[in-house]
Amino acid sequence: MTTTSAKSTGYLDLFAFGLDTDALRSISVLDDIWRDAVLQALPERDNDPVLKEFIEVSSGLVLFLADPDWQKYWLAAWHKQASRGFRLTELMTFFYRAVEICEHRILGTDRLVARLNVDLFSLLRRSVLAAVSATVELDEEARLAESGIPGELAALQYLHQALKQGLPVSLLSVSLINRNAFAHLSAGELQTLPALFAERLAHRLRPQDLVFSGREGEWLLVFPGVSSMVQPSLAGAHIQQSFAEPIRLISGRSIALDVAMGAAMGPEHGADADALVQAARLARWDLARTRQGFGWYHRDLHCDWQQHDELAAELKLALHQESFQFYLQPQVDINSGVCFGAEMLLRWQRENGEWVAPPLILELLEENGWRQMFTDSLIRHALRSSAELEAAGVPVRLSLNLTAADMVDTDLPDMIAQRLETWQIPGDRFMIELTESAMMADQIRCLSVMERLSDLGIGLALDDFGTGYSSLSYLVNLPFREIKIDRSFITAMARSPDSLRVVRTIIDLTHDLDMVPLAEGVEDPAQLEQLRSLGCDQVQGYLYARPMPLAEFIQWMQARPA
Ligand code: C2E
Ligand code: CA
Ligand code: CA
């Protein structure tokens, strides 16, 4: 087998992980120990040929990582495992455990060897990462290729044509409800779900009916030529019926799915394509209130919508008057106890005194096309706050939350650069937090925006890590400096060994990639101690302080021992 060129042989980009021929040669001394460790770390299931094959291939990782043949076997073996519901985090955890076993073995027998090989285990972990990261990308590609259903734009075009020609047309907006109940499904199971879902739908439609994919988790079913409520209602009932039976996943597990369907008819319920789609969605959203699975659009819905509109109007005013506030929550160095930064969190109180949850505000901003205006005001606010902090003698770093759309806005870096210039504040006083979904949209444009922000000295943090797709390629290909471990893992850590292992894996992985981990939602001293023992560097949470207004934050800082 060839192991000469270790750059981008075959399917894996080893170079991106800092693995060259020398690095691979140096870890090959671990081959024997690795093989044993894999056996020990991977779950045992007697007489399971797929798992056996996977273990066999995995045990060759140290020696054959750069070999295209081995890579091919590895990817095939992984695909088989994934389709049976083997999760990525599980995979990472097992392999990191294998590395740990190797580490322990060597440390236990020969301290000198261990000291000589300080970087050896980091190299080994990088090798594991390199192998795993390619598998994720391939899975993603396969998933996209598989679905192949035309999107919302195509639906709008079709509806536009039909309405223009005066043809009647009906529409269903369909979505899976209770999506949270899917949280316990594995990545493999989740990936196959849309295909199974589409398959069930297809059985219930006439040949001339059309299926489009709408927003995330939404399908738009179009019934050409249908001007009565009968056909869509019938289809709705059939679909509902077919979902009464649990779906059998590839893993063999069965789950019960519920659907929500909103129906609308053109031109009665909407004279143009946008209005018609909107009407069907309104009908579907209303089902959350009535707890039914199917409903037609009716005029009263517009009254609810009116409340929604009032909220939006008030929001618009707040945007123009800049009456939003941003509270600050301290971020603390775990060893020194020093507060080095704060996260800016949006707060908005309505005229009637009600506080509106930040995610709802963001949704409204996005929906109405005000996001850019909001981002602009957020950045202005950040600079002003930073100057105030400096004047108060507490020039800490500020973390800003930006969204997916901000990251493809190629004017953003220039806008920020100008502001930094005006205020004479160095870029490294700011950090930008992004969630994984923020990077899914358009990685290339994202990358260029992120690189230009980095050039300004602004740090980038990956927010809510562990909750999304956790595609490892983001970590390697995008210039992140910090990883924020999601609160859900920190909360679960005390009672779930699995979560503890995930936290440990994320911390090790972050260090291997020369980044800094920050644990979110730390609420009690026991969590803090646990994080300290795992080597986590930074923390944030109610244990230190809740988010508070700028003036209060300054007092809080000034009251702390230096
Ligand atoms: P996030 O970025 O993950 O922010 C952390 C959330 O956890 C905040 O909720 C914070 O108040 C809360 N939190 C912090 N420490 C603890 C703790 O120890 N225990 C518990 N239970 N919660 C804690 P918040 O302020 O309600 O914000 C919710 C989300 O809204 C944020 O999640 C972020 O995604 C979004 N968001 C908030 N402000 C902005 C903003 O200015 N721009 C953007 N794009 N998104 C924002
Ligand atoms: Ca955040
Ligand atoms: Ca977060």
Are both 315 and 226 inside the same structural domain?
no
- Cα 297 to ligand 3 centroid, rounded to whole Å: 37
Which residue's CA is minimally distant from atom 27 of ligand 1? 358
Distance from the CA of 194 to the center of ligand 2, in angstroms? Answer: 29
- Please give the Cα distance from 514 to 508 (Å, whole number): 10
Q: What range defines the domain where residue 65 resides?
A: 15-146
Neighbours of 415 (CB within 10 A): 15
pLDDT score, position 51: 82
Same domain flag for 291 and 330: no
CA of residue 484 to ligand 3 center, whole Å: 6
Give pLDDT, residue 497.
Answer: 86
398 and 522 part of one domain: yes
Ligand 1 binding pocket includes 346 (Cβ within 6 Å) = yes
My answer on whether 173 and 80 are in the same domain is no
Q: Is 514 exposed, middle or buried (0-12, 13-18, 19+ CB in 10 A)?
A: exposed
Q: How many CB atoms lie within 10 A of CB 524?
A: 14
| The two structure tokens encoding residue 411 | 């004017």
Closest-lying ligand 1 atom to the alpha carbon of residue 486 = 3
pLDDT at residue 531 tops 70: yes
- Locate the ligand 1 atom nearest the alpha carbon of residue 522 and give its number: 18
**CA–CA dist 69, 1 (Å, integer):** 8
Ligand index nearest the alpha carbon of residue 524:
1
**Range list of H helices, 148-223:** 152-164, 187-203
Residue 75 belongs to a domain: yes
CB 144 within 8 A of CB 194: no
Domain boundary among 270, 298, 326: 298
Strand partners, 170: 223, 265
Q: Which stretches of 452-522 are assigned E, i.e. beta strand?
A: 459-465, 482-485, 516-519
pLDDT in tens, 122-177: 788 888 878 877 666 555 455 444 556 677 777 888 898 898 899 999 999 988 76
The residue whose CA has the least distance to atom 17 of ligand 1 is: 521
Q: Kindly report the CATH number assigned to the domain that includes residue 179.
A: 3.30.70.270
Length of the chain counted residue by residue = 562
pTM score > 0.75 for this model? Answer: no
Is residue 463 in contact with ligand 1, taking CB distance under 6 Å? yes
Three-state helix/strand/coil letters over 506-549: HHHHHHHCCCEEEECCCCCHHHHHHHHHCCCCEECCCCCCCCEC
Burial of 109 (0-12, 13-18, 19+ CB in 10 A): exposed
Residue 485 CB burial class (10 angstroms; 0-12, 13-18, ≥19): buried
Quick check: 520 and 484 in contact, CB under 8 A? yes
Can you list the positions of beta strands (E) in 375-495?
397-401, 430-435, 459-465, 482-485
Atom of ligand 1 nearest to the CA of 400: 41
Residue with CA at minimum distance from ligand 1 atom 19 = 521
In this structure, the answer to whether residues 165 and 249 fall within a common structural domain is yes
Q: CA–CA separation, 351 vs 20, rounded Å?
A: 61
The residue behind tokens 């009690």 is 524
Question: Which DSSP letter does residue 179 get?
Answer: G
Nearest ligand 1 atom to the CA of 547 is 11
Mean pLDDT of the region 469-481: 73
Mean pLDDT throughout 313-326? 89
Please check whether residues 111 and 240 belong to one and the same domain: no
- Between 275 and 526, the more confident residue is 526
**How many angstroms separate the alpha carbon of residue 289 from the centre of ligand 2?**
30
Q: Is 521 in the pocket of ligand 1 (CB under 6 A)?
A: yes
Cβ–ligand 1 contact at 462 (below 6 Å): no
Find the angle CA(279)-CA(181)-CA(143) to the nearest 5 degrees. 75
**Given a cut of 70, is residue 288 above it in pLDDT?**
no
Atom of ligand 1 nearest to the CA of 344: 41
Average pLDDT, the chain: 82
Q: Using CA positions, which residue lies closest to atom 46 of ligand 1?
A: 401
Q: Residue 21: inside a domain, yes or no?
A: yes
In a domain, 135, yes or no: yes
| Separation of alpha carbons 171 and 223, rounded Å | 6
Q: Decide if 359 is inside a domain.
A: yes
CA distance 218 to 152: 10
Residue 112 pLDDT exceeds 60: no
Atom of ligand 1 nearest to the CA of 540: 15
Pocket test for ligand 1, best of 401, 490, 491 (most atoms within 8 A of CB): 401
Ranges of H-type helices in 186-291: 187-203, 230-244, 273-290
- Residue 491 Cβ contacting ligand 1 at under 6 Å: no
Residues 45 and 178 in one domain: no
Report yes or no: 298 and 280 within 8 Å, Cβ to Cβ. Answer: no
Cα–Cα distances (Å) from 540 to 7, 335, 469, 484, in that order, read: 39, 13, 23, 10
Mean pLDDT, range 193-202, rounded to an integer: 70
pLDDT per residue over 406-432, tens digit each? 888 888 999 999 999 989 999 999 999
- Six-digit token pair at 116? 């000589």
DSSP label at 322?
T
| Ligand 1 pocket, residue 402 CB under 6 Å | yes
User: Does 346 share its domain with 410?
Assistant: yes
Q: Interior CA angle at 408 toward 407 and 414, to 5°?
A: 75
Tokens in use for 124?
């080994």
- Compare 398 and 78 and report the one with higher pLDDT: 398
pLDDT of residue 533: 96
Which of 276, 298, 320 is the last residue before a domain boundary?
Answer: 298
Does the Cβ of 360 fall within 6 Å of ligand 1? Answer: no
- Tell me the CA–centroid distance for residue 248 and ligand 2, in Å: 37
Highest mean pLDDT among 55-59, 218-222, 443-447, 516-520: 516-520
CB atoms within 10 A of CB 406: 21
What is the mean pLDDT of the segment spanning 25-40?
A: 90
**Residue carrying structure tokens 């901003």:** 365
The response to whether residue 325 sits with its C-beta less than 6 Å from ligand 1 reads: no
Q: Which token pair is 497?
A: 């060994």
Ligand 1 near 464 CB (within 6 A): yes
Ligand 1 atom 23: residue of nearest CA: 521
46 in a domain, yes or no?
A: yes
* Ligand 1 atom closest to residue 464's alpha carbon, by position in its atom list: 3
The CA 469 to ligand 3 mean position distance, Å, reads: 15
- Whether residues 280 and 324 share a domain: the answer is no
- Residue 440 confidence class, pLDDT cut points 50, 70, 90: low
Burial of 456 from C-beta contacts in 10 A (0-12 / 13-18 / 19+) = middle
Q: Is 356 in the pocket of ligand 1 (CB under 6 A)?
A: no
pLDDT at 442: 62
Residue 283's DSSP bridge partners are none
CA of 310 to the centre of ligand 3 (A): 29
- CB of 358 sitting under 6 A from ligand 1: yes
Which of 93, 120, 146 is the last residue in one of the domains? 146
Q: 405 in ligand 1 pocket by Cβ < 6 Å? A: no
Lowest mean pLDDT among 170-184, 235-249, 354-368, 530-544: 170-184
Per the DSSP assignment, residues forming a β-bridge with 332 are 339, 539
Predicted local confidence at residue 189, as pLDDT: 64
CA of 406, closest atom in ligand 1: 44
Dihedral sign, Cα of residue 408, residue 409, residue 410, residue 416: negative
The answer to the question of residue 10 being in a domain is no
The predicted pLDDT at position 7 comes to 41
Q: What percentage of the chain reaches a pLDDT higher than 90? A: 35
Least reliable range by pLDDT among 20-24, 39-43, 86-90, 306-310: 86-90
Give the pLDDT mean for 292-308: 79
d(CA 130, CA 124): 10
pLDDT computed for residue 127 by the predictor = 86
Q: Is the CB of 436 under 6 A from ligand 1?
A: no
- 133 and 156 fall within a common domain: no
6, part of any domain: no
Q: Is residue 361 domain-shared with residue 315, that is, in the same domain?
A: yes
User: For position 144, what pLDDT does the model report?
Assistant: 44
Quote the ligand 1 centre to 316 CA distance (angstroms): 22
Three-state helix/strand/coil letters over 398-461: EEEECCHHHHCCCCHHHHHHHHHHHHCCCHHHEEEEEECHHHHCCHHHHHHHHHHHHHCCCEEE
Contact indicator for 345, 401 with CB cutoff of 8 Å: yes
Ligand 1 contacts CB of residue 10 (under 6 A): no
- Same domain for 139 and 48? yes
- Ligand nearest to the CA of residue 326, numbered in listed order: 1
Q: Give 2's pLDDT tier (boundaries 50, 70, 90).
A: very low
Number of domains in the chain: 3
Judge whether 305 lies within some domain.
no
